[in-house]
Structure 1
Amino acid sequence: MNIYLIDIFNTYDDHINFIDSFRLQPKRTYLEQAKSEIKINSFGEGYLDQIMIWEAKDKNKFNELISILNELNLLESIKSKRLGGGRYEIAVQVKENGIDSSLSDVGFGISQFLPIIVADLQLSEGSTLYIAQPEIHLHPSVQSAFGGYLVKQINSQSKNYVIETHNEYLLNRIRLAIVKGEIEEDEVKVYFTDNSTNKSVLHEIQFNKQGQILNAPNNFFKTYMMDVMEIAINAAE
């Protein structure tokens, strides 16, 4: 990230954040940060400390987090346990009435996705969250459900999201939200970088009220469309 962007994030500290595609790996135990206020950095550092603070001091925010994770079918519960010496461990339940497991022992995508939701809940109404590749290591159903979460946050919190992604599931859920009238088509902006020639060309992709893709170059979703067509052709033989 360049110095200019860092200055922007520092200036608008309460209204903007950026979560990179490279996020910290889960551990067995963590060293607690001695801070009353923690803002997650671009690598996701600090998100578990924030969860612990909410768990101990802000039950409404903690319950909101758990409710979101339930709706996304990602986790049922999160619990922290202090071990002494400033260290703690985090246990999660993936299934209702399931066993408590370390973040290191469940799907890697959970620890990579949690910083995104926690960072979003830290930001105030009308804020902007930049996210690089939120889909990393996530089950397709969660990738899709995340699109519904974004629409809900946009409508209820007037939030803005700038997302770098290659994710068809996320985009298709947004298209479905347009068709269902949950979000207006002009509230969604998609830009596709085409480097099929010797230079990169930026294309603005638009949608109509039926969720149809407009103004897309031929290689937008090309692999997906070709695979679907080939499956249909071979199935008919």
Structure 2
Amino acid sequence: MKTDKLQLTNFKCLSNVTFEFGNLNILAGANGCGKSSLIHSLLLLRQSYEQYRNLDILSLYGKYINLGSAKDILYEHAGKGEEISYCIFNEKGAGIELAYEYAPENRMLMNVKSSAKNLKNFNIFGDTFEYLSADRIIPQTVYSSISQDNFLGNRGENSLNFLEKYGDTFKVEKVFQDDTKNEYLLYYVNKWMERIFHGFRLQLSPIAEADAVGLRYAEKSREWVSNSYRAINVGFGITYVLPIIVALLKAQRGDLILIENPEAHLHPKAQRLIGELLAKAATTGAQIIVETHSDHVLNGVRISAKNKIIAPSDIKMFFFMKEDIGSKYHTNIYLPQMDKDGNIDIWPSGFFDEWDNALALLF
């Protein structure tokens, strides 16, 4: 079930905050203001669950993230004896309360609350969890297909293997389908690739003896298809964004997808189209949390709201701002709201306003 609310205390720069999530959740703000801290807090829960199949221990070192020891993640101004705590609620109102005892040098923290139960009722502990970090796969000649994991991997390293295995059998949701009556993932990955990158489409070739998948690209117009090119001879951003396209097109109800910086290495129009794809994916019933610095990605979501692809009520925006209150810095989180025409009610200083700031200096 969708994660409806998270209350987080004493975690990194977040002293005591509450997040009420929608289907599409956009995290924005300057560097070092807390966006990644929210994502890290969720990744810690996921990796601890995968290691122990419970939440009795919070593991700071593992599959998804390595954050050092407890002294590296405790809120700097926490009082003596205070704990790092979570309260999580799903869309049905069921909750989990966790409090991890602070032990400065430890990489494993003990939960001092009663054991959390019914974890499968929360999508963060479900079988359809994806996390794509800001550091993703780069162009290579071949990609390993040894993994039997159906997850795409933190860097998207299993995306090509997933496409080669399931691209012609995995059915995408109706919102992605066109009038060709084709239902399958590989077709729609190529359709979005062609749309975003002016005709580029991928070609996969399994290399059984090497447990690998080869990747090449070709350009396609209405009447012509080019020779295929090695991925290393084609623009960096095309391969870099491929795991995001795969993750969003395979989105289904109950999924939780965490994405960092989907705009990396993309030109402005491509960034805007990724925003539109994010909005479409969120209408499947999947829950998406995306960290971005791109006003083009945001505009893609705004256009989707105006075109009635996604309801504004399904979009939540969180703008993180670090403010000097004298004795310390405090992270404040603003909650701009979007209407049915894609308009946003408040624009705090620093919230995707640099274009206007630059124009003011130019004119």
Band the TM-score falls in, shorter-chain normalisation: 0.7 to 0.9
- TM-score normalized by the length of structure 1: 0.83
Q: CA deviation at 1:176?
A: 2.1
Q: Partner of 2:316 in structure 1? A: 189
Aligned-partner Cα distance in 1 for 2:248–2:304: 20
Aligned-partner Cα distance in 1 for 2:132–2:219: 24
Larger radius of gyration: 2
Aligned-partner Cα distance in 1 for 2:208–2:311: 51
TM-superposition CA deviations, 1:14-68 (whole Å, max 9, x none):
3321111111322222333163x53211111211111211357669332232223
Mapping of residues 159-170 of structure 1, within 5 Å: 159-170=286-297
Q: CA deviation at 1:76?
A: 3.3
**8 Å contact from structure 1 (residues 92, 100) kept in 2:** yes
Bigger shift: 159-168 or 222-231?
222-231
Give the letter aligned to residue 335 of structure 2.
Answer: E
Mapping of residues 190-229 of structure 1, within 5 Å: 190-197=317-324, 198-229=329-360
- Secondary structure of 2:214's aligned partner: strand
Q: Partner of 1:99 in structure 2? A: 227
Q: Partner of 1:124 in structure 2? A: 252
Which is richer in strand?
Answer: 2
Mapping of residues 42-61 of structure 1, within 5 Å: 42-55=154-167, 60-61=184-185
Q: Partner of 1:22 in structure 2? A: 135
Q: Partner of 2:66 in structure 1? A: none
* 1:50/1:213 CA distance change after superposition, 3 Å: same
Aligned-partner Cα distance in 2 for 1:42–1:74: 28
**8 Å contact from structure 1 (residues 75, 94) kept in 2:** yes
Aligned-partner Cα distance in 1 for 2:167–2:256: 25
Mapping of residues 126-141 of structure 1, within 5 Å: 126-141=254-269
Give the letter aligned to residue 165 of structure 1.
Answer: T
TM-superposition CA deviations, 1:144-185 (whole Å, max 9, x none):
011222222233x22221100001001112122223333222
Aligned-partner Cα distance in 2 for 1:27–1:139: 21
* 1:126/1:144 CA distance change after superposition, 3 Å: same
Could you list the structure 1 runs, at least 4 aligned residues long, displaced by more than 6 angstroms after superposition: none
Bigger shift: 59-68 or 12-21?
59-68
Aligned-partner Cα distance in 1 for 2:323–2:202: 45
Q: Percent identity?
A: 21
Bigger shift: 106-115 or 10-19?
10-19
Aligned-partner Cα distance in 2 for 1:64–1:14: 23
Give the letter aligned to residue 133 of structure 1.
Answer: N
After superposition, the CA RMSD in angstroms is 2.6
Aligned-partner Cα distance in 2 for 1:56–1:152: 21
Q: CA deviation at 1:196?
A: 4.8
Bigger shift: 54-63 or 108-117?
54-63
* 1:33/1:179 CA distance change after superposition, 3 Å: same
- Secondary structure of 2:139's aligned partner: coil
Aligned-partner Cα distance in 2 for 1:116–1:132: 10
Correspondence 1:146 to 2:274: yes
Aligned-partner Cα distance in 2 for 1:120–1:8: 24
- Secondary structure of 2:154's aligned partner: coil
Bigger shift: 212-221 or 80-89?
80-89
**8 Å contact from structure 1 (residues 39, 122) kept in 2:** no
Gaps of 5+ in 1: none
- Secondary structure of 1:207's aligned partner: coil
Give aligned pairs, total.
230
Which residue of the other structure, out of 282, 290, 303, is the alignment partner of 1:176?
303
Bigger shift: 144-153 or 210-219?
210-219
